[in-house]
Amino acid sequence: FFFQAEDGIRDFCLSRGLGDVYKRQTQSTWELDSHSLSGKKIRMGGRNSLANLKTVPSVDLTKYQGVWYQIESNAPYSRDVDCVTATYTLQDDGTIRVKNSYRKPNGGSWGEVNGKAYAVESSNSKLKVRFYWILGGNYWITDLDPEYRWVLVVTPEDCYAWILSRTPVLDEEIVTRLRAKISEIGLDLNQFKRTRHDVQSVSYTHLTLPTIYSV
């Protein structure tokens, strides 16, 4: 659901100095989908699938929109940068405008990726996300706080997951519980990395950032 590129798109991004933010995946498309917590043990790397995992019963997209801070992830293209956020804005036509922002490590430059998402089921817990005209995939919401303060998102085909929060810091008790769920579905917790957020840059998601590509 964050920055992923294939072939020419990947080369385009790398040519602009993004380095390891963009990683070539084992599939030509990527999807962000929700999952249940009853999956069997799987191996990291994208060749296995979590497609049988369940999503949450329903999602109110009006409540879901807004800024989400990445707390932890095992996705190589988003775990190795700082200050990662996703901003979702519901549009009049029912689609969602997506803005993924990040900062290169050690106080590096800011970057941004723009896209669009739309629900594929009436529950709104499974979304399709598209960046540029080639790049698309699934976004599954597998666990969601009733007050929409935190969420667990999974891309089943690549076996990547994200813990997101409305604030740059999430209560450790909640993080521990979500990590337990991640482990239960078979993902290796050793592959997850805590995202660094600059406390002094809480408003950075509202900055005008250089756009890498957009729909």
The tens digit of pLDDT for each residue in 20-34 reads: 333 333 332 233 333
Whether 67 and 166 have beta carbons less than 8 Å apart is answered as: yes
> How would residue 11 be classed by pLDDT, with cut points 50, 70 and 90?
very low
Spell out the residues 6+ positions from residue 65 whose beta carbon is closer than 8 angstroms to its own.
88, 89, 90, 96
Strands (E), 104-166: 110-119, 126-131, 135-144, 150-155, 160-165
Bridge pairing between strands 150-155 and 160-165? antiparallel
> How many whole angstroms separate alpha carbon 162 and alpha carbon 147?
18
With bands split at pLDDT 50, 70 and 90, how would you rate the model's confidence at 48? low
Element (H, E) at 14: helix 7-14
The per-residue pLDDT for range 68-95, each reduced to its tens digit, is 999 999 988 787 899 999 999 999 999 9
pLDDT at 121 over 90: yes
pTM: 0.73
